[in-house]
């Protein structure tokens, strides 16, 4: 039994008579327009995504707080987030009660992770509930063994823009706002 193979032409080389398709000129025009739009938009997008040090610092703070929450849950004892406003650093440590026969050592008192914010970014204020600590000193935030922490608002600036990191008591995520905030701003929302 022999099979007959037939070939169909997808496009005729003759004159266009109701055929679907695009001409080479149309494809070149569209490709040129897409290239121009990409050339204008990609640098701005890349700049905002990779060089926005304020947002990058905010992501680092959120990552450290989330890591501290996980450590607090794992330790079954809770953790402290320590903010040094003078050095522009935050760290966390989970104190463990000494077990029978152990003594406290300096090694155990070391923070588990230290995060330093980039130089133009600084913490301008921290609100713990309604108590404000402004621009200097040390602040400690407690995370209990369930990963919950008190309401906190941390305002960051890079000299031009301001951001607020807002943490609620029973919500595990930290909200990012594009302005400086205080507890009074939370009451109006």
Phi and psi (nearest 5°) for 58? -60, -40
Confidence of residue 29 (pLDDT cuts 50, 70, 90): very high
Give the per-residue pLDDT at 133: 65
Supply 138's token pair.
Answer: 């040390």
Note the pLDDT of residue 106: 46
- Say what the pLDDT of residue 102 is: 60
Answer whether residue 147 shows pLDDT above 50.
Answer: yes
To the question of pTM greater than 0.75 for the whole model, the response is: no
Could you tell me if residue 21 is left (phi over 0), alpha (psi between -120 and 50 degrees) or otherwise beta? left
Q: For residue 167, count other CB atoms closer than 10 A to its CB.
A: 21
């Amino acid at each position: 039994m022999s099979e007959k193979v037939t070939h169909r032409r997808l496009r005729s080389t003759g004159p266009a008579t109701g055929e679907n398709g695009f001409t080479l000129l149309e494809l070149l025009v569209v490709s040129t327009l897409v290239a121009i739009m990409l050339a204008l938009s990609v640098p701005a997008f890349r700049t905002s995504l990779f060089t926005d040090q304020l947002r990058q610092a905010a992501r680092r703070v959120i990552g450290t707080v989330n890591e501290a929450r996980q450590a607090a849950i794992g330790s079954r004892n809770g953790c402290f987030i320590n903010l040094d406003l003078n050095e522009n650093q935050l760290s966390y440590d989970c104190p463990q009660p000494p077990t029978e026969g152990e003594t406290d050592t300096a090694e155990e008192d070391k923070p588990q992770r230290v995060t330093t914010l980039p130089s133009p970014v600084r913490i301008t204020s921290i609100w713990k509930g309604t108590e404000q600590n402004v621009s200097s000193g040390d602040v400690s935030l407690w995370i209990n063994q369930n990963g919950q922490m008190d309401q906190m608002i941390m305002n960051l600036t890079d000299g031009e823009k301001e951001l607020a990191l807002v943490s609620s008591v029973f919500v595990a995520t930290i909200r990012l706002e594009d302005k400086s905030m205080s507890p009074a701003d939370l009451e109006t929302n």
